[in-house]
Structure 1
Amino acid sequence: MAATDLLARRATLSRSLRLLSAFRFEQSDPDRFYGALAADTVAMVEDLWRSAVGSSIRGLTLLDVGGGPGYFASAFTAAGVRYIGVEPDPREMHAASPRTHDPAGTFLRASGTALPIADDSVDICLSSNVAEHVAQPWRLGDEMLRVTRPGGLAVLSYTVWLGPFGGHEMGLTHYLGGYRAAERYTRKHGHRPKNDYGSSLFAVSAADGLRWARGTGALVAAFPRYHPRWAWGLTGVPGVREFLVSNLVLVLQPS
């Protein structure tokens, strides 16, 4: 069975519309947005693992690189996963309301590009929407592969710069250029964007991610995270994918 077979059945237009609707609440109601994203991420990882390995994720150890304030911890712990979150920013670790921060998870303050984790020590290594926020995204990817045991899965999902969400809270102004968009945001709001181009936001392309993943020899699947199955072919179209894929998922299985 291909790694995406089960996920493909769930990748419907209604799912895409539901997630798109939730994105509107990222700033105004983060519990609503990140709660929906966490639930969908657990389902995605479960589908990928079942397709690739043939069993449930229950009882497995998952390392979440850039795990943030605990939304994913709550969702994965509820699914029976031993959850370890890595987050370099202490403000992010405490950003959620107490009811969403599950103390059952283990949390480490560390950089995703230098994980304090032994080689081949976790079943699944996940990074959701983090690669575009680090200056060396493929060093992060290499670290994810290093800590994932042979036969496990590394799932790296990131926002493509030229897609409609590449500018994050700066909106579509990122098409004017990252630095110009950040300056425009600052003039309008009186403060720098949280995702500030050149320091906490970088232009990461789909082509670069696919080139890195193929070079590892471990790539088993690549697809647009939020698209219905009939649009997954966009990943294979150079140029077009930079604008229409929006969020690229790279699934790797070390041997």
Structure 2
Amino acid sequence: MKDPSLRRSVTLFRAFLRERQEPERCYALLARDAADQVERHLPVNGKVVVDVGGGAGYFTEEFRRRGAQAFLFEPDLRELGARGAHGAKPPEGAVVADGYLLPVATGSADVTFSSNVLEHVADPQTFLSELVRVTRPGGLIYVAFTNWLSPWGGHEWAPWHYLGAERARARYERRTGTPAKHTLGVNLYKHHIGPTLRHVRAREDVTVVSARSRYWPFLAESVAKVPGVREFTTWNLLLILRRCP
């Protein structure tokens, strides 16, 4: 996969900064970008796509627009209904389901897709194993996540998480006067790039097609290769894996 353009990265970053004010625009743009990344490796028209933890369904809807049979599995009812305030409903057929135990037959998906979910699961290896299980041999697994030492690792209380999670969370609540959405060890976890890469590379049921920064506009694969440095510079790790026969 060639490096994305600087213009694309700037556009996504600007949308991210306006995520709270313009969620529809932000996530629709992100969904188109993610679907483009998948289609560089496998056209999705006519394919079965399983969207795990896809929230309000922006990714599922984008894959359906491209002709895929896409299905949304989301464990959090609040996330599933997040678009209600904007007059939109989640995709038809969305299922409330845990990513550790998907109600999906083994080997039934051509693409298993997970965007910014891994940092919210306590057991990433079990979660990844379930994504692999439901993917057919030769199919793709798309996993992107924000690692803990990324400038955005603390989510709404970043970048103050570098000074400690509890301190950062308390600062956010004092400054905004509202409870923080995320709590370390409850719905946000300290996952790192190095251990994640070592785990997927050691697996015998997948091969690594691509391991790169999801948003970085240049040297996107190179920044993910340098131990230590990659934990800060990658920002968001994108893994594209292929299920082995």
The TM-score normalised by the length of structure 1 is 0.90
1:66 to 53, 58, 66: 53
1:38 is matched with 31
Work out whether 1:211 is the aligned partner of 2:208: no
Aligned ranges 1:1-255 → 2 under 5 Å: 4=1, 8=2, 11-49=4-42, 56-96=43-83, 97-99=86-88, 101-103=90-92, 106-217=93-204, 218=206, 219-255=208-244
The TM-score normalised by the length of structure 2 is 0.93
| Stretch deviating more after TM superposition (152-161 or 106-115) | 106-115
| Stretch deviating more after TM superposition (222-231 or 132-141) | 222-231
Deviations 1:40-61, CA, capped at 9 Å, x for gaps? 1111111122xxxxxx210100
| Stretch deviating more after TM superposition (59-68 or 180-189) | 180-189
Which amino acid counterpart does residue 172 of structure 1 have in structure 2? P
Contact 1:63–1:86 under 8 Å retained in 2: yes
Unaligned residue ranges in structure 2 (runs of 5+): none
* Identity over aligned pairs, percent: 41
Deviations 1:21-72, CA, capped at 9 Å, x for gaps? 11111112111111111111111111122xxxxxx21010000110111211
1:53 is matched with none
Deviation at 1:246, TM superposition (A): 0.5
Structure 1 distance, partners of 2:89, 2:194, is 35
| Stretch deviating more after TM superposition (68-77 or 79-88) | 68-77
Deviation at 1:188, TM superposition (A): 2.7
Which amino acid counterpart does residue 241 of structure 2 have in structure 1? L
Contact 2:110–2:136 under 8 Å retained in 1: yes
Which amino acid counterpart does residue 186 of structure 2 have in structure 1? S
Counterparts in 2 of 1:231 and 1:123: CA distance versus 1, 3 Å: closer
Unaligned residue ranges in structure 1 (runs of 5+): 50-55
SS of 1:223's equivalent?
strand
More helix by share: 1
Contact 2:47–2:110 under 8 Å retained in 1: yes
Which amino acid counterpart does residue 154 of structure 1 have in structure 2? I
Which consecutive aligned stretches of 4+ in structure 1 deviate over 4 angstroms post-superposition? none
SS of 1:22's equivalent?
helix
1:52 is matched with none
Which amino acid counterpart does residue 228 of structure 1 have in structure 2? P
Contact 2:52–2:99 under 8 Å retained in 1: yes
Contact 1:71–1:100 under 8 Å retained in 2: no
SS of 2:191's equivalent?
coil
Counterparts in 2 of 1:141 and 1:63: CA distance versus 1, 3 Å: same
Deviation at 1:216, TM superposition (A): 1.3
SS of 2:222's equivalent?
helix
Which amino acid counterpart does residue 210 of structure 1 have in structure 2? L
SS of 2:82's equivalent?
coil
Deviation at 1:100, TM superposition (A): 6.3
